[in-house]
Structure 1
């Protein structure tokens, strides 16, 4: 296959699920011999070291700091750059960056790359007001109407996308969140009984306040239970105060940001996703790939997609302290040191599978243009 030149646009390398997936795809495509250019507002951030060192990173000049209207500025800067630096296609990783897709559509046809836009979070969010949903749908149609390829991560979102965009070709490409091989060997591990792991940005979206309240009930049943939360964010002071107020300082530890949660998945007997809403929940896939039992809220349509062939735990309603604590207690009470391999069911989420599906879609467009 001919080598491609691929552009990727991200605001920066700060923590974010869409940015992490973009970095993984960039590294994979580079390993396959393609030329990768990442255009960004600035090249700083916690995840910068995750990017392969032989990938070209072009920051905007002047740099663009994340803030109000900064995505619009990034979009205009990306349009200017890719108008004169030609690439075969541009990958736009998620809803936050959709303004970039819109600006790239304005590049002259002789220079315009194939535009690949990903839907990274829910189209229909719970509790969103009807008028707000109508505005969202109009905005989505406006920003993505001329994207050559629109990608959803599950069939329901693809169906919703087709309805809003008045098209019938939204692709479903499962989130390429996993390495080419299982992250943990399929053998017995000496993980600790009554140990629970959670991970994510410390924000309202992730529902850690609900998890901490639920864990108070868990500790009442299992005083030896321990919860480690891997993540950093603006809600950390409030969450630490909540832990103190519930007298859980000896049971809950906020670890802070970690680049790789694999060692933590090996050490803990249960993984919990307490989110109020998710696009797909990459960390849930990582936990299943590691053979963990899981408890998750019903925070995304992808939950049914993931668990359809992988019954590896419990699904509970969002923001339900009682249901969440009951599920955690149930899983801890049936602890087994034997890991269960879900590698076969997880194969569709591996980086090589998703990465190749993106390339196949682009080559199909290129062929149709010849």
Structure 2
């Protein structure tokens, strides 16, 4: 970093509550601030909303308090016009060298709000846009407004190909960072073996598929249990599924954990059954912690992270029978589990926070320099 001229970086994200994109945003901003840049984070949440991540001293937080429900097209337009004008006013006051934005709707607002302000905008999709459904208006606006951004950053080559094909844009590929784990996998304190999964309780994450697969084989493995950490709109549905399958003694949905790295370290197998993804942080953390992992070949970064089977098992997305079969093989064979657990940390080489932060800074610096030349 020593040769890099300090920049004034503005970062726009909907909120800093607990979540994958939010965690990456907080981590990047902390890295940049520590490296000597000035960082302003703008969110649409209110002053009193809980921030899910620690921020470095010196980072300026601007909660714009503009999160409002849009129950009609008119209200949608009104709310977004208010966001654009308020954001534009704040950007004029901050006068950043670059503006970074995360997630489709926020990206669109960032591009429109910064028009004519001589601020290069770097936007980022945080999940596979071909699989993740957004409002049709956002789909349309993405197609016509994204090219106004200086750079679009995605997390995988798979997503970059989609962007080239569907948006006719060249995307920069930068993975998510993963820290050295606080805990390594440890011996059990109880007699039961553990399968773990982590994520928001939405259809995207595929936890219904995992519960069904486990249900199909659970009678053969009375000494195994499944724990899924997280919360979200599908909680009631997943709880009902567990209850109807009579799995209340062996499948647990304890909610979010503040010590997920510790929970991962006490498990035997990590499963990521998502229907589609971006670049899942929980899978990276499980690999870093030395856990045998199973993931799907769904759109996004799971198969790419697992190097198509080199560092973990990759199965067909939404194939419950294959998931149940793979679980059975891994649960039965401790030697096989240990082989994959031993090489799991190798999968995250090159994903340290320092390396990823430097890649981002290179993109931001390039945007600033090319914008200066153009102007």
Q: TM-score per shorter chain, which class?
A: 0.7 to 0.9
Match of 1:348 in 2: 350
Aligned residues: 356
Matches within 5 A, 1:76-91: 76-91=85-100
2:21 is paired with a residue whose SS is helix
How far apart are the structure 1 equivalents of 2:352 and 2:113? 29
Match of 1:361 in 2: 363
**CA deviation vs aligned residue, 1:212-263 (integer Å, no higher than 9, x gap):** 1111123111012111111011221221122111111110111211234110
Matches within 5 A, 1:43-82: 43=47, 45=49, 47-60=51-64, 63-68=65-70, 69=76, 73-82=82-91
Change (3 A) 1:246 1:44: farther
Change (3 A) 1:72 1:269: farther
**CA deviation vs aligned residue, 1:262-301 (integer Å, no higher than 9, x gap):** 1011000000111111122221111111111111122224
Matches within 5 A, 1:1-370: 1-42=4-45, 43=47, 45=49, 47-60=51-64, 63-68=65-70, 69=76, 73-109=82-118, 113-125=119-131, 138-168=140-170, 170-176=171-177, 178-179=178-179, 181-185=180-184, 189-191=186-188, 194-308=193-307, 311-336=310-335, 338=338, 339-368=341-370, 369-370=372-373
Change (3 A) 1:171 1:317: same
How far apart are the structure 2 equivalents of 1:282 and 1:143? 29
Do the aligned partners of 2:18 and 2:52 also contact (CA within 8 Å) in 1? no
Change (3 A) 1:65 1:173: same
2:127 is paired with a residue whose SS is coil
How far apart are the structure 2 equivalents of 1:174 and 1:81? 30
Give the TM-score, by structure 1 length.
0.87
Change (3 A) 1:78 1:268: same
How far apart are the structure 1 equivalents of 2:142 and 2:229? 33
Gaps of 5+ in 1: none
Give the TM-score, by structure 2 length.
0.86
How far apart are the structure 1 equivalents of 2:113 and 2:349? 33
Change (3 A) 1:206 1:330: same
Do the aligned partners of 2:276 and 2:300 also contact (CA within 8 Å) in 1? no
**CA deviation vs aligned residue, 1:64-87 (integer Å, no higher than 9, x gap):** 225323566434422221022111
Q: Please report how far the alpha carbon of residue 184 of structure 1 lies from its aligned counterpart in structure 2 after TM superposition.
A: 4.2
Q: Please report how far the alpha carbon of residue 2 of structure 1 lies from its aligned counterpart in structure 2 after TM superposition.
A: 2.1
1:349 is paired with a residue whose SS is coil
Do the aligned partners of 1:98 and 1:143 also contact (CA within 8 Å) in 2? no
2:342 is paired with a residue whose SS is coil
Change (3 A) 1:156 1:202: closer
| RMSD across aligned positions (CA) | 2.6
Do the aligned partners of 2:125 and 2:154 also contact (CA within 8 Å) in 1? yes
How far apart are the structure 2 equivalents of 1:273 and 1:9? 29
Do the aligned partners of 2:108 and 2:141 also contact (CA within 8 Å) in 1? no
**CA deviation vs aligned residue, 1:323-358 (integer Å, no higher than 9, x gap):** 111111111111258541444431222221111111
